Amino acid sequence: MQDKIYKYLLLLGDNTMVLGHRLSSLCGHGPSLETDIALTNISLDLFGQTRNYFQYAATLIKRRPASFSLGSYESLENVDGEDQIAFLRMPQEYSNVLLVEQPNTDFAYIIVRQFLFDQYHILLLNKLAQSNDDQIAAVANKSIKEVTYHRDFSSQWLKRLGDGTEESHQRMQEAVNFLYPYVKELITPCNLEEDMASLGIGPDLNHLADELVENIAQHMAEATLKLPPLDGARFNGKVGLHSENLGYILSELQYMQLAYPNMKW
């Protein structure tokens, strides 16, 4: 079971790390100083959550029993900390959902992507706070306050732009049409998530689905935005099949560690 918890921690941490990286690239490019700082702070929150997950994952590797199977994560055989987990895996070893790796096309895409993930994330954390794994529960409890702010921020911008000018509405609708189908991956459990749910470590995503879709629909209606069908997007990010977008992210994220192996600050 320990190896499954380890892989589940990567799944949780990869989502927050990749989205945090997307937001970090916006530092200095926000539409206003206040919004720029807010997006940067959200990025830092997500990186902090990632570090908590990966620190726990690193301890599991260090004290792993002989039966602990790394599976496809053999590049982490000699891990001694969270940095190696974050920076030294191959692209197919990352298990983030495809939604979070979608590019910063414009501010509408940034807000819609954030809104959709935030609505899912707060529901997930509320369930993880009741996890049978005490450390996962502790990380979730610590993160709930942060993600509540993230959700409020993205929800307010969704309504402001969706029900704003003709141009802002058109751009937001375009972003919704493109990004909403990726929500299906958030609520479709992979085998690992089903195992974690059966052990009481993670939630049953099927039980979150209706509430998530309802919450999203309510906010979209208030923003005068229409939802497309919840299908059409291909997704296998949780099992390591990603879009080309992740390759560009990793080329930046991994550069220093690959150019200067084992560097220390």
* pLDDT of 122: 98
- pTM to 2 decimal places: 0.92
Tell me whether residue 47 is in a domain.
yes
Q: CATH number of the domain at 98, please.
A: 1.20.1260.10
Q: Choose the weakest-confidence range: 45-59, 61-75, 139-153, 234-248.
A: 61-75
Tell me whether residue 204 is in a domain.
yes
Average pLDDT, the chain: 90
* pLDDT of 153: 96
pLDDT surpassing 60 at residue 123? yes
Averaged pLDDT for residues 124-142: 97
* pLDDT of 65: 62
Tell me whether residue 35 is in a domain.
yes
* pLDDT of 252: 87
Of 30 and 98, which is predicted with more confidence?
A: 98
pLDDT surpassing 70 at residue 173? yes
* pLDDT of 181: 95
* pLDDT of 66: 59
The pLDDT tens digits of the residues spanning 55-102 come to 999 998 877 665 565 555 555 556 667 888 988 888 999 999 999 999
Tell me whether residue 45 is in a domain.
yes
* pLDDT of 98: 96
The pLDDT tens digits of the residues spanning 184-205 come to 999 999 999 999 999 999 999 9
Check: CB of residue 55 under 8 Å from CB of residue 82: yes
Tell me whether residue 264 is in a domain.
no
Give how many domains the chain has, as a whole number.
1
Tell me whether residue 265 is in a domain.
no
Share of residues in the chain with pLDDT > 70 (%): 92
Question: Domain range holding 13?
Answer: 2-259
Rounded-to-integer distance, Cα 69 and Cα 47, Å: 27
